[in-house]
Amino acid sequence: MRVQVAIIGAGPAGMVLGHLLHRAGVDLIVLEQRSRAYVEGRVRAGVLEHGTVQTLRDLGVGERLAAEGLVHDGVSLACDGDVLRIDLAALTGGRGVTVYGQQEVMRDVFDAAEARGLPVIFGCEDVALEGLDGAAATVRWGQDGAAQSVVCDFVAGCDGQHGVSRASVPPGVLVTHARSYPFAWLGILADVPPAAPELIYASHEDGFALASMRSATRSRYYLQCPLDTRIEDWPDGRFWDELERRLGPEAAAGVVRGPSFDKSLAPLRSTVTEPLRFGRLFLAGDAAHIVPPTGAKGMNLAVADVRRLAEALLAFYAEGGEGALDAYGPAALRRVWQAARFSWWFTGLTHRFPGADGFDRRLQRAEFDVLAGSRAAQMAFAEAYVGPAEV
């Protein structure tokens, strides 16, 4: 078998890239280690930037998103109980964000792939990449006990930090810049109405809290906690008590308690890998970078990566020459580092770091007061939060 592009990984990056290329007539295949049910069922991000929403609509996979997504024109920050609403739409020329779970995005892109004949193969075992520095690459895998392979012009590595794509690059080629944060997020899902119509990011002297949602009847809440936290030590009652305390009286007044049906613990970290190209291989999405969830940038960066990568590949097939392909990595990394900076800043504003003292807390409060008193500061925050205007 021969195709022009082999995509490794059927997460958001891989599937959006697949749709972008398939729409333009590029011969491709998407290979995924897990089952569709596994990929579609992973509980992940839920805040979509303006550009991500536009991309999904442009691809014709945004019908349910338009009907069921919750459009947010603002977001609230709380500090020691004081609440500041930032009007995203007013500050960015009408752009906001949309709450629509990653699981729903995956359902939409998988359904569309089936309808359009976009080839996605699930259950690929022992995937191996060969010839990445040659004239053509070969991808090998096993399925149902049979050996399979495909020869391709290019490989798009969209299979995450621990996937075969990164591991196939020779030692010494990639440099990974990393920052691990000394805390985690304890999260719950509950079928109760959200505490507020928009997200609330709370900074409290005892740690961060986030009031979010997945729908008008399903809430997602997080608490900052130590890395060694045990989920079993946090029954629902204790979680609700601590959430309301950190949100403060005004925000907590909207909390509706109910039994949780999912609890999770997620350490926070940032990683950025450079370069994003090795011969025939291009890295995109989580294979190239991870950002803390504070700024809601993970899936949005993945979509931004593959938009650029699709443009570069289509330019190659239309015009020849590899200038656009060479430019993909540097251009994508500029956006990635801007998002990493925002996530790092926002995490520092809202979280309690081990060893922090009264001076550190007063600086956090001063930063909150700057936002509260400065339209320019709010505009900078809003632009970073909703993402660039261009698609």
Predicted model pTM: 0.96
Average pLDDT over all residues of the chain: 96
Catalytic site positions = 72, 201, 293, 297, 385
Domains of the chain: 2-72+96-178+269-347 (3.50.50.60), 181-268+354-386 (3.30.9.10)
Mean pLDDT over residues 284-311, rounded?
A: 96
Please report, rounded to a whole number, the percentage of residues in the chain having pLDDT higher than 90: 95
pLDDT digits (tens, 9 = 90+) for 245-260: 999 999 999 999 999 9
pLDDT digits (tens, 9 = 90+) for 22-78: 999 999 999 999 999 999 988 777 899 999 999 999 999 999 999 999 999 999 999
Provide the pLDDT for residue 44: 73
Mean pLDDT over residues 158-177, rounded?
A: 97
Weakest-pLDDT range from 113-117, 291-295, 349-353? 291-295
Is it the case that residue 391 has pLDDT exceeding 60? no
Provide the pLDDT for residue 69: 96
Weakest-pLDDT range from 265-279, 350-364, 377-391? 377-391
pLDDT digits (tens, 9 = 90+) for 272-288: 999 999 999 999 999 99
Mean pLDDT over residues 137-161, rounded?
A: 96
What phi-psi label fits residue 117: left (phi over 0), alpha (psi between -120 and 50 degrees) or beta? Answer: left
